[in-house]
């Protein structure tokens, strides 16, 4: 399955929109995400792989998959990590987002995370230089 950039961004935003430090599967469903969809599990797993989201206490995301493919979810507190907040900040930058969408369409989550950080840092340095009147 390929990463859907827009879906990934929407999922990160749903975590951030929580009115508490954590969210859970039920709250994510209330925001339009369906835990029964493969793309939901896929995107949640790759965010967890990069430690962008995690379970508040313990390990795992709260799901169990049986040999028959049936999946059940426990309602466990999930949180957006500091790295998750940084990643979301980076992809909210219109220049970063535009570059990712056009030049990194098929990139892995690790590449997206590294590139977005590097791009945001570059754009931020450029902006600070401009604000300080240090343009050459």
> What's the CA gap between 32 and 29, in Å, rounded?
5
**What is the pTM for the complete model shown?**
0.86
CB 84 within 8 A of CB 15: yes
Burial of 47 (0-12, 13-18, 19+ CB in 10 A): buried
Pick the CATH number of 5-81 from 1.20.58, 3.30.420, 1.20.81, 1.10.10: 1.10.10
Per residue in 61-85, pLDDT (tens digit) is 988 888 988 888 999 999 999 999 9
Domain boundary assignment for the chain: 5-81, 87-131
Per residue in 8-37, pLDDT (tens digit) is 999 999 999 999 999 999 999 999 999 999
pLDDT-derived band at 135 (thresholds 50, 70, 90) equals low
CB 28 within 8 A of CB 103: no
CB 18 within 8 A of CB 26: no
Position 131 pLDDT exceeds 70: yes
């Amino acid at each position: 399955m390929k990463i859907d950039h827009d879906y990934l961004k929407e999922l990160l935003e749903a975590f951030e929109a929580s009115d508490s430090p954590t969210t859970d599967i039920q709250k994510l469903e209330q925001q339009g995400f369906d835990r029964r969809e493969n793309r939901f599990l896929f995107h949640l797993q790759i965010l967890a792989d990069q430690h962008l989201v995690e379970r508040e206490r313990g390990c795992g995301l709260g799901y169990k998959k049986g040999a028959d493919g049936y999946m059940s979810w426990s309602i466990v507190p999930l949180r957006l990590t500091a790295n998750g907040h940084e990643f979301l900040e980076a992809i909210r930058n219109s220049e970063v987002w535009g570059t990712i969408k056009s030049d990194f369409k098929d990139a892995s989550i690790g590449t997206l995370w590294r590139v977005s950080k590097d791009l945001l840092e570059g754009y931020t340095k450029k902006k600070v230089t401009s604000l300080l009147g240090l343009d050459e």
